[in-house]
Amino acid sequence: QTVEIILENIHQFRKIEELSYTDSMTRLYNYRYFYKRLSEEILRAKRFSRFLALSIFDIDEFKVFNDNLGHQTGDDLLRQLGELLLDSVRSIDIVCRYGGEEFCVIMPESDRKSCRQFMERLRKRVVDHEFSSRFSTGRHTITLSAGGAIYPSDARRVDRLIYCADMALLEAKRS
């Protein structure tokens, strides 16, 4: 019986840990997990002298989408985008909801060229995808803006890498 209690405690601990690292709406990793894993992946990239790409992107005009079709439709769109993201990355990539309608992908062993290729492939997949919701009629299309940064060429620290990717995202939104 003691072993059963220990196993149940381990199970409960893992469940709580998973909840603390997971966004409840999209079931993607959340910001807390993102920051932890980005730190770990930068250390790994440094240790093995490898590149690491970080892509941050958001949904264009998402506020207008929510205002016109309702927040529940917007939530459905976020969930579907999360699924599309998971289906678009390699098994070693880490997909997270950064906040609101912003998402990020940590791409170990990826250089600038592969980061650009990924962002373009994702942009095209999203544009071609028809999103739907039980709260609205018809199919909906969206666009994304994306920015990327590469360790170590753009930045060598976590906060700076995030900043560089975010600035690239803002530049993409302006253009």
The residues carrying an active-site annotation are 101
Q: Who's near 122: CB < 8 A, 6+ residues apart?
A: 57, 85, 88, 144, 146
| Run of H or E including 55 | strand 52-59
Helices (H) and strands (E) in the chain, counts: 6, 4
Pairwise CA distance, residues 161 & 150, whole Å:
7
Pairwise CA distance, residues 76 & 53, whole Å:
28
Pairwise CA distance, residues 161 & 130, whole Å:
32
Coil vs helix vs strand at 36 = helix
Pairwise CA distance, residues 8 & 163, whole Å:
42
AA letter at 113: K
